[in-house]
Amino acid sequence: MTPRAAAIVLGALLLCPAAARAQEAAAIFLGGAASALGAHEAGHLLFGVAFDARPTLEAVDFAGIPFFAIAHRPDLSPRREFAVSAAGFWVQHATSELILSREPRLRDEHAPFRKGFLAFNILASVAYAGAAAAKAGPFERDTRAIGDALDIDERWVSLMVLAPAVLDAYRYFHPDARWAAWGSRGLKVGWVMVILK
């Protein structure tokens, strides 16, 4: 074996474990994101059952992309409609807060599952906020139902969804920003307090 061939083989052997670890971390990250999606939908399901909303799984289409939604009966009171529709965001808020409070320096940790979970929570909120601002997407979207339940324009719901996500993203990159942590927590508690109005 020539020295060049030996160097190539040695390099490949050294890189393969690193590549395998990177692939494993990516898979765990995606598992965290998928778990966050499941938790969001479980929130809708839990509140749907609690409020006798008869939740069902329904196929929806967004820009040609097939998806699903947890649908419920249309005759709920505005308060129950708000709770069932907001439950996914409440779960996102609670889990993001748990992750960022327990591990404020998550960015510096090797924690692909928690990073994937948090990334989903933030990016899903950004996507929902964009759809709400444009009043786009399937009729079953949470932000439209929240706006209807609160009797406000869905674009205001866009801001309600976006603000905690932006603050949580800021917290991820700037863990010492106490104002961002408390601002995010205040907005999240405010979401729940709306039900008392």
pLDDT band at 9 (very low <50, low <70, confident <90, very high): low
Q: Are 107 and 175 in contact, with CB atoms under 8 Å apart? A: yes
Q: Regarding predicted confidence, which is higher, 99 or 17?
A: 99
Q: Of 47, 52, 185, 170, give the one whose Cα is nearest residue 118.
A: 170
Q: What count of other Cβ atoms lies within 10 Å of the Cβ of residue 70?
A: 24
Residue 175 pLDDT > 90, yes or no? Answer: yes
Residues 6+ apart with CB under 8 A from 174: 180
pLDDT tens across 67-93, in order? Answer: 777 778 788 899 999 999 999 999 999
Dihedral over Cα of 13, 14, 15, 21: its sign: positive
Look at residue 104 and give its three-state secondary structure.
coil
Per-residue pLDDT at 197: 65
CA 44 – CA 52 distance, rounded (Å): 12
Q: What is the pLDDT of residues 140-154, one digit of tens each?
A: 889 999 999 999 999
Q: Which amino acid is at 18?
A: A
Percentage of the chain beyond pLDDT 90 is 64
* Dihedral sign, Cα of residue 47, residue 52, residue 57, residue 58: negative
- pLDDT-derived band at 66, boundaries 50, 70, 90: confident
- CA distances (Å), origin 18, targets 12, 15, 24: 10, 5, 10
Please tell me whether residue 24 adopts helix, strand or coil conformation: helix
Rounded mean pLDDT of 26-54?
92
pLDDT at 190: 92
